[in-house]
Amino acid sequence: MTARIGPVDSSRTPRFSGRDGFARLPRLDQVDHADVVVAGVPFDSGVSYRPGARFGPNHIREASRLLRPYNPALDVSPFELAQVADAGDIAVNPFDIGEAIDRVEQAAFDLTAAGTRLVTLGGDHTIALPLLRAAAKRHGPVALLHFDAHLDTWDTYFGAEYTHGTPFRRAVEEGIIDTEALSHVGTRGPLYGKKDLEDDRRFGFGIVTSADVYRQGVDEVVAKLRDRIGGRPLYVSIDIDVLDPAHAPGTGTPEAGGITSRELLEILRGLDGLHLIGADVVEVAPAYDHAEITGVAASHVAYDLVSLLALEHDRLAAAR
């Protein structure tokens, strides 16, 4: 196997020049294989309020120029443990949600051939459904950690079944997520009614609200999540609006009272050792992102997800 190709050396090429892939990594067509792939889905036709997340993938990539190759929080150099590459964007139809969902599912399935793990940059949360479909084709029904201000288990909006507020209800109905190992993290804010919570419990979701994170602390929350997930294959879906608007103003449906970027990163780092098989970071809308605050947060979240997947790749390789 040829040597792994890492990011551009920032001591030789300034961060504001050179490759434009995530963390200035090589493109997928520049490597002979990839253990972890980062791909964008510039799609926001499923939003119910502020649009603009179609520009999220490249906004996150631009902010990721400042990332460095060693992750001290996880004590790992992810680009040395695994070949990581940027697959560019999955081109989807902005006028036909059904066709877009089918395209994302097929592309995600193709990108995860031969054991490759996928981190997807959105785009709105509608894309979580096809990503989960592709993951379930590979692994069977998967455990899910859903970081979000909102439940995203509503039935319809204006009669539409496929929107950014419905993906996890559809996923339960389709049997592609493991109802013994589902949890929302960071939820908060007003709901349409108490039935929203009753439906959510019926689907099998546990809920860790943003207030729970504040009152219980990261370590206790991580312990509970790890116990719920166990050794199941795990998919992590992160709506950037899980963060308080002070930490992520650039999103479509902000809610006051969210968790901090530090809390989110520490919870993710606490998942090290679990059987993580894929992840997404969605709902970054750069038009509302003054000073690139949201893009920076999302790039660090994606970096920690890549690091966790590189560690998982290394563990699985060592076990073979």
Domain-located, residue 313: yes
Domain-located, residue 198: yes
How many domains are there within the chain? 1
281 class by beta-carbon count within 10 Å (0-12 exposed, 13-18 middle, 19+ buried): buried
Domain-located, residue 17: no
216 class by beta-carbon count within 10 Å (0-12 exposed, 13-18 middle, 19+ buried): middle
Per the structure block, which two tokens stand in for 146?
């859903």
* Domain limits for position 113: 22-319
Its sign, for the CA torsion 100, 103, 107, 108, is positive
Mean pLDDT score, 82-95: 98
Q: Looking at residue 2, what is its pLDDT?
A: 64
Mean pLDDT score, 84-112: 98
Domain-located, residue 36: yes
Mean pLDDT score, 288-297: 96
* CA 309 remoteness from chain centre: 12
Mean pLDDT score, 75-83: 98
Residue 280 main-chain phi, psi, to 5 deg: -140, 155
Q: Looking at residue 302, what is its pLDDT?
A: 99
CATH of the domain at 276: 3.40.800.10
pLDDT digits (tens, 9 = 90+) for 114-173: 899 999 999 999 999 999 999 999 999 999 999 999 999 999 999 999 999 999 999 999
The count of residues in the chain is 320
3-state secondary structure of 47: coil
Domain-located, residue 164: yes
Mean pLDDT of the chain: 97
Mean pLDDT score, 295-315: 98
Domain-located, residue 83: yes
Domain-located, residue 10: no
pLDDT digits (tens, 9 = 90+) for 202-237: 999 999 999 999 999 999 999 999 999 999 999 999
pLDDT at 1 over 60: no
Q: Could you tell me the pLDDT band of residue 17, with boundaries at 50, 70 and 90? A: confident
Domain-located, residue 86: yes
pLDDT digits (tens, 9 = 90+) for 34-69: 999 999 999 999 999 999 999 999 999 999 999 999
- Residue written as tokens 């400042």? 66
Residue with more model confidence, 290 or 289? 289
Q: Looking at residue 20, what is its pLDDT?
A: 86
Q: Looking at residue 320, what is its pLDDT?
A: 85
Q: Could you tell me the pLDDT band of residue 15, with boundaries at 50, 70 and 90? A: confident
Q: Could you tell me the pLDDT band of residue 295, with boundaries at 50, 70 and 90? A: very high
pLDDT at 238 over 60: yes
